[in-house]
A = this chain, B = another copy of it.
Amino acid sequence: MTTTEPRTAIASQRIADELRGAILDGSLAPGERILQEELATRYRASRLPVREAIRILEAEGLVSIVANSGAWVSKLDLDECVHAYKIRERIEPLALAESIPRLGTQQLERLAELVDAMEAGTDVENFLVLDREFHLLTYSESRMDSLNQLIERLWNTTQPYRRAFSIAIGSERNWMIHAEHKLLMEAIKRRDVDEAERTILGHIRRTRIELEGRSDLFL
Contact = CB atoms under 8 A, between A and B. Distances in A.
Give the contact-size bracket for chain A.
Answer: 20 to 34
A86 interface: yes
A147 B6 CA distance: 34
A217 to B, nearest CB: 19
A56 interface: yes
A87 B148 CA distance: 11
Given A6-B68, A67-B10, A147 B56 contact: no
Contacts of A150: 87, 150
- Tell which of A66, A84, A146 has the most Cβ of chain B within 10 Å: A146
A50 to B, nearest CB: 12
Nearest to A91: B90
Nearest to A51: B52
Given A91-B90, A94-B87, A146 B61 contact: yes
A33 interface: no
A17 to B, nearest CB: 14
Interface in A66-99: 66-69, 80, 83-84, 86-87, 90-91, 93-94
A36 B176 CA distance: 53
Interface in A20-68: 48, 51-52, 55-56, 58-61, 66-68
B94 A146 contact: no
A168 interface: no
A105 interface: no
B10 A83 contact: no
A179 interface: no
Given A48-B48, A80-B146, A83-B146, 17 more contacts: A6-B66, A8-B67, A51-B52, A52-B52, A55-B55, A56-B59, A59-B59, A59-B60, A61-B146, A83-B145, A87-B91, A87-B94, A87-B144, A90-B90, A90-B91, A91-B91, A150-B150
